[in-house]
């Protein structure tokens, strides 16, 4: 086996037993052989050191960002789970006129639904009930909100006399705030103010 | 160079998950092999920026071609071949020579030589101040001068720390070819160091090592050189 092959096997840890002992003895005795060995050893170490140094200064997080930025990985649609996702998707599909009309229709429906039952003629002026209350000249106003959702609230107008004379309680004519159909169809006589007040919670 | 032992799910399990659409599995696979892939690319190209570009492209190719991966070879073997081919493409596109700025180059060489047991050289040459800058440049030039095939086995042996058998499997050649390539790669590097190891009156080393630094062959095209050709002829 020539020296160069022996050096290679020695560097790669492939000599053992007697071969290893013989070669190490020769290294002690032959400086030239030792220099050859050192030169090859240093070359490999230089290459390793160069790579190790580069690895220390490399950002592998940046590598991940760069790779994932280039990959066609599936990405979640913006607003994918939101209630407006179908509209957004429709919009993205460049069907702008249809989508716009749909949005306008939804907005109109939303506005109409938000208006209360007494607001139909509200734009024309104050309601009849409000005019009656303001014209009664009462000092105190009691408003009873009924428990039932569909019943109309009752507004009691109390004038100064009622407050001054407890025994002869005179109550101004009660005005029931109710819808016009209800008022027209109802001929029920007015109950006394006291009875009505007792009924108040 | 020692690489940490693999923990967690096997490569095959990760690959199955990636194919099922789990992005986290791909991140895990990258984290497992990014340093080794970078080490190989850096050893081949000897430029950190170029090596990073190659590793980036290698992982993109891995992701895209993963459905074609056949588990009859280890994942690293497959990844290594991708990295190597990209390095060769890089040579062809950008030229073989690594461009290192003079100042940065010699400072880096100085540090690296310190790292690479330069004390041994001092011990060998106690009467002669060692010009580490020149030595580093000579080594760097000698590494650049290696052919792709010689460099490849050098990287796999010195950086990856693989055995001859493992190198033969990865490279896809015979064991004798690996030994031959490694021998010639080391001999070329040894030649680069001869002027720095020669003490007065010791010409024998230079003669035994060959023609000298000035005759280093540059064979980037990947053709086999001297000893290997002899081996194949035999």
Distance in angstroms (rounded) separating the CA atoms of residues B32 and B30: 5
pLDDT in tens, B123-132: 545 445 556 6
Whether the pLDDT of residue B89 is over 60: the answer is: yes
For chain A, give the percent of residues with pLDDT over 90. 7
Q: Taking the CA atoms of A49, A53, A56 and A62 in sequence, report the sign of the dihedral they define.
A: negative
Query: Could you say which of A44, A54, A70 has the minimum Cβ distance to residue B42?
Result: A54
Among the listed residues B2, B159, B124, B223, the one whose alpha carbon sits nearest the alpha carbon of residue A43:
B159
> Do A39 and B111 count as a contact with CB atoms less than 8 A apart?
no
Q: Choose from B18, B118, B197 for mutation: most chain A CBs within 10 A.
A: B197
The neighbour count for residue B72, using CB atoms within 10 Å, is: 7
pLDDT of A137: 65
More reliable by pLDDT, A65 or B234: A65
> Do A36 and B204 count as a contact with CB atoms less than 8 A apart?
no
Distance in angstroms (rounded) separating the CA atoms of residues A78 and A89: 9
CB B224 within 8 A of CB B232: yes
Helix (H, G, I), strand (E, B) or coil at B24: helix
Q: Which of A43-57, A118-132, B94-108, B133-147 has the lowest mean pLDDT?
A: B94-108
Q: Which residues contact A147 (CB under 8 A, 6 or more apart)?
A: none
Whether the pLDDT of residue B114 is over 60: the answer is: no
pLDDT of B218: 33
Q: Choose from A34, A41, A51, A75 for mutation: most chain B CBs within 10 A.
A: A51
Helix (H, G, I), strand (E, B) or coil at B163: coil
Q: Which of residues 176 through 195 in chain B touch A, CB cutoff 8 A? A: 179, 182-183, 186-187, 189-190, 192-194
Among the listed residues A156, A161, A162, the one whose alpha carbon sits nearest the alpha carbon of residue A141:
A156
User: For A60, which residue in chain B has the nearest alpha carbon?
Assistant: B34
> Do A46 and B139 count as a contact with CB atoms less than 8 A apart?
yes
Residues B42-67: what's their mean pLDDT?
92
Distance in angstroms (rounded) separating the CA atoms of residues B63 and A40: 39
CA torsion angle A58 B49 B146 B188 (round to 10): -50
Residues B77-84: what's their mean pLDDT?
93
Q: How far is A3 from chain B (nearest CA, A)?
A: 10
Contacts of A54 in chain B (CB under 8 A): 38, 42, 48, 51
pLDDT of B215: 28
pLDDT in tens, A8-36: 899 888 898 899 999 999 999 998 888 88
Q: State the number of CA atoms in the 13 A half-sphere of B151 facing the CB.
A: 30
pLDDT of A112: 81
Q: Which of residues 95 through 154 in chain B touch A, CB cutoff 8 A? A: 108, 111-113, 115-118, 120-121, 124, 136, 139, 142-143, 154
Residues B104-119: what's their mean pLDDT?
54
pLDDT of A171: 46
Sort strands A140-144 and A175-176 into parallel, antiparallel or unpaired. unpaired
Q: What is the mean pLDDT of chain A?
A: 70
pLDDT of A118: 53
pLDDT of A83: 64
Among the listed residues A10, A5, A43, the one whose alpha carbon sits nearest the alpha carbon of residue A24:
A10
**ipTM of the assembly?**
0.72
pLDDT band for A155, please (50, 70, 90 cuts): low
pLDDT of B132: 62
Token pair 């923990």 in the structure block, residue: B7
> Do A60 and B108 count as a contact with CB atoms less than 8 A apart?
no
Residue B221 burial by CB count (10 A; 0-12/13-18/19+): exposed, middle or buried? exposed
Structure tokens at B76: 């690293």
The neighbour count for residue A67, using CB atoms within 10 Å, is: 22
Token pair 């020539």 in the structure block, residue: A2
Residues B115-142: what's their mean pLDDT?
61
Contacts of A58 in chain B (CB under 8 A): 38, 48, 52
Contacts of A68 in chain B (CB under 8 A): 23, 27
pLDDT in tens, B163-180: 999 999 999 999 999 999
Residue A126 burial by CB count (10 A; 0-12/13-18/19+): exposed, middle or buried? exposed
Distance in angstroms (rounded) separating the CA atoms of residues B32 and A90: 42
Distance in angstroms (rounded) separating the CA atoms of residues A183 and A186: 5
The DSSP code for A149 is S
Whether the pLDDT of residue A186 is over 60: the answer is: no
User: For B194, which residue in chain A has the nearest alpha carbon?
Assistant: A39
For chain B, give the percent of residues with pLDDT over 70. 63
Q: What is the mean pLDDT of chain B?
A: 74
Q: How far is A88 from chain B (nearest CA, A)?
A: 26
- Concatenated DSSP letters for B98-115? ----HHHHHHHHHHHHHH
The neighbour count for residue B70, using CB atoms within 10 Å, is: 6
């Amino acid at each position: 086996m020539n020296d160069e092959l022996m050096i290679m096997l020695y560097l790669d840890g492939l000599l053992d037993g007697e071969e290893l002992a013989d070669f190490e003895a020769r290294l002690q005795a032959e400086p030239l052989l030792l220099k050859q060995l050192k030169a090859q050893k240093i070359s490999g170490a230089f290459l390793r050191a160069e790579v190790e140094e580069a690895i220390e200064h490399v950002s592998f997080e940046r590598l991940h960002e760069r790779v994932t930025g280039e990959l066609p990985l599936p990405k979640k649609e913006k607003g994918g789970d939101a209630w407006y996702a179908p509209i957004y998707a429709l919009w993205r599909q460049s069907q702008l006129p249809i989508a716009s009309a749909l949005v306008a229709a939804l907005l109109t429906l939303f506005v109409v639904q938000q208006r209360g039952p007494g607001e139909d003629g509200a734009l024309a002026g104050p309601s009849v009930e409000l005019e009656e209350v303001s014209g009664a000249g009462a000092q105190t106003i009691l408003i009873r909100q009924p428990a039932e959702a569909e019943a109309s609230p009752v507004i009691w107008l109390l004038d100064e006399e009622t407050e001054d004379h407890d025994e002869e309680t005179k109550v101004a004519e009660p005005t029931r705030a109710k819808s016009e159909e209800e008022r027209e169809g109802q001929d029920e006589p007015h109950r006394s103010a006291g009875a009505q007040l007792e009924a108040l919670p | 160079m020692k690489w940490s032992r693999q923990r967690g799910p096997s490569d095959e399990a990760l690959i199955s998950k990636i194919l099922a659409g789990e992005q986290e599995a791909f991140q895990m696979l990258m984290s497992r092999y990014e340093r080794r892939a970078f080490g190989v690319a850096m050893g081949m190209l000897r430029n950190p920026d170029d090596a990073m570009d190659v590793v980036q492209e290698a992982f993109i190719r891995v992701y895209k071609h993963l459905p074609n991966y056949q588990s009859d070879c280890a994942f690293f073997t497959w990844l290594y071949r991708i990295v190597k081919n990209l390095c060769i493409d890089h040579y062809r596109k950008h030229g073989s020579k690594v461009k290192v700025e003079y100042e940065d180059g010699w400072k880096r060489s100085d540090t690296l030589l310190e790292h690479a047991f330069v004390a041994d050289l001092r011990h060998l040459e106690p009467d002669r101040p060692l010009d580490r800058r020149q030595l580093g440049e000579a080594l760097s030039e000698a590494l650049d001068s290696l052919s792709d095939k010689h460099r490849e086995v050098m990287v796999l042996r010195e950086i990856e720390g693989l055995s001859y058998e493992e190198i033969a499997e990865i490279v896809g050649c015979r064991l004798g070819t690996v030994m031959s390539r490694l021998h010639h790669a080391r001999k070329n590097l040894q030649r680069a160091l001869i002027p720095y190891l020669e003490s007065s009156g010791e010409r024998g080393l230079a003669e035994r090592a060959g023609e000298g630094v000035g005759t280093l062959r540059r064979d980037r095209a990947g053709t086999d050189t001297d000893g290997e050709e002899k081996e194949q002829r035999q």
